[in-house]
Amino acid sequence: MKRRYPHHQPSQFHLLETDCLPSQNLWMKRDDLIHPIASGNKWRKLKFLVEKAHREGKSKLVTFGGAYSNHMVATAATGAACGLQTHCFIRGDEPLQNHYLSTARLFGMQLIPVSRADYKNKELLFHTHFGSDAHALYVAEGGESEEARKGVAEIIQELPTEPAFIIHASATATTACGLGYGIRDLGWKTKVLSVAVLKNAEEQTEKAREAGLSGTVTVIRGDMGGYAKTNPEFLGWVKQFIALTGIFIDPVYTGKALWTLKQQLESGAIPCDKPVVFLHTGGTLGIFSPEFLNA
Ligand SMILES: *Cc1c(COP(=O)(O)O)cnc(C)c1O
């Protein structure tokens, strides 16, 4: 059954006052509250893809991800909410057991493990498994698409006033470019600071440049040496932030972005009185890994 995309907008927006960060003018856009499990930015990215599926008479979303992919879980949750079947090719030969995969299964997603070599050619995988299925919609890894950028741009339209900076965790630069489009559409001067949480800051900068957003989007390194790489000082701070604010942040995405914001404020690169919006992109499942909880 074809169901509409669940209405959630606008997501909450509030001032954040905490000793964990020196800013006096820090606001949080709470896309983490859009869904209890699915990352908020993934929800944004999928909105117009679901519309496309409905419009084109498709009944299943077929996508790609690693065993710890927030996009995988978000696609599963969204499909379940919208009456679409979901399928995901899972990269690598790791055992199909962790809380991301179990959650995706709960939402009814079919998981298809493939070798790292096969995973490289996604078009071929789709063609081999779903090529003859007119009801299958190809959804790129991470949801990357024009539809995704359009969905993210709606975040900007929900902001009550023009901030000096928007800062967020960034991996593929899709969210970054979507924010950039939204800002450009409104003629704002807001700067997007995209914190690269994996070691691909140059690649992300290039994507922003190709999108014509060099003047708006700046990619800052925040990876700490790689995806999911951390250190004890940082982990301690993330835990302290959660304990002192009651807001969940995770060590892979939002924690790294907020830690980078802290450094930018402390160094004076971002003045403490300037209005800053932190886009909370979600990532709740990242908190529930034993490595973090028991660290
Ligand atoms: C996927 C994800 C991001 C990165 O989004 P991109 O559009 O790929 O840059 C940021 N935060 C969270 C919590 C995510 O799950």
CA of 219 to the centre of ligand 1 (A): 14
Q: Output the pTM of the full model.
A: 0.96
Q: How far apart are CA 71 and CA 64, in angstroms?
A: 8
Sheet hosting strand 60-65, strand order edge to edge: 110-114, 85-91, 60-65, 136-138
Q: How far apart are CA 149 and CA 48, in angstroms?
A: 9
pLDDT of residue 1: 59
Beta bridge partners of 193: 167, 218
CA of 240 to the centre of ligand 1 (A): 23
Q: Ligand 1 pocket test: which of 72, 150, 253, 292 has the largest number of ligand atoms within 8 Å of its C-beta?
A: 253
pLDDT of residue 95: 73
Q: How far apart are CA 114 and CA 90, in angstroms?
A: 6
Determine if the peptide bond prior to 275 is cis (ω within 30°). Answer: no
Ligand 1 nearest atom to the CA of residue 45, by list position: 7
CA of 270 to the centre of ligand 1 (A): 22
pLDDT of residue 16: 96
Ligand 1 site, CB within 6 A: 39, 41-42, 70, 142, 169-175, 253-254, 281-283
Our measurement of the distance from residue 216's CA atom to the centroid of its chain's CA atoms, rounded to an integer in Å, reads: 19
Q: Ligand 1 pocket test: which of 11, 100, 150, 170 has the largest number of ligand atoms within 8 Å of its C-beta?
A: 170
* CA dist list (Å): 49 to 53, 148, 221, 236: 6, 7, 30, 38
Amino acid at 12: Q
- Please say whether the beta carbons of 108 and 80 come within 8 A: yes
Ligand 1 nearest atom to the CA of residue 171, by list position: 9
- pLDDT per residue rounded down to tens, the chain (295 residues): 567 777 677 999 999 999 999 999 999 999 999 998 888 899 999 999 999 999 999 999 999 999 999 999 999 999 999 999 999 999 987 778 999 999 999 999 999 999 999 999 999 999 999 999 999 999 999 999 999 999 999 999 999 999 999 999 999 999 999 999 999 999 999 999 999 999 999 999 999 999 999 999 999 999 888 888 889 999 999 999 999 999 999 999 999 999 999 999 999 999 999 999 999 999 999 999 888 888 8
pLDDT of residue 291: 82
Ligand 1 nearest atom to the CA of residue 74, by list position: 15
Q: Ligand 1 pocket test: which of 29, 47, 71, 175 has the largest number of ligand atoms within 8 Å of its C-beta?
A: 175
Beta-strand relationship, 85-91 and 13-15:
unpaired
Task: For residue 35, give the DSSP letter.
Answer: -
Task: For residue 247, give the DSSP letter.
Answer: -
CA of 221 to the centre of ligand 1 (A): 15
Q: Which of 72, 76, 68 is nearest to 92 (CA)?
A: 68
Residues with Cβ within 8 Å of residue 43, at least 6 apart in sequence: 8, 31, 34, 35, 74, 78, 282
Helices (H), the chain: 40-55, 70-82, 99-106, 116-119, 122-130, 146-157, 174-186, 201-210, 232-245, 254-267, 290-293
CA of 69 to the centre of ligand 1 (A): 10
Give the distance between the most distant pair of CA atoms in the chain.
57
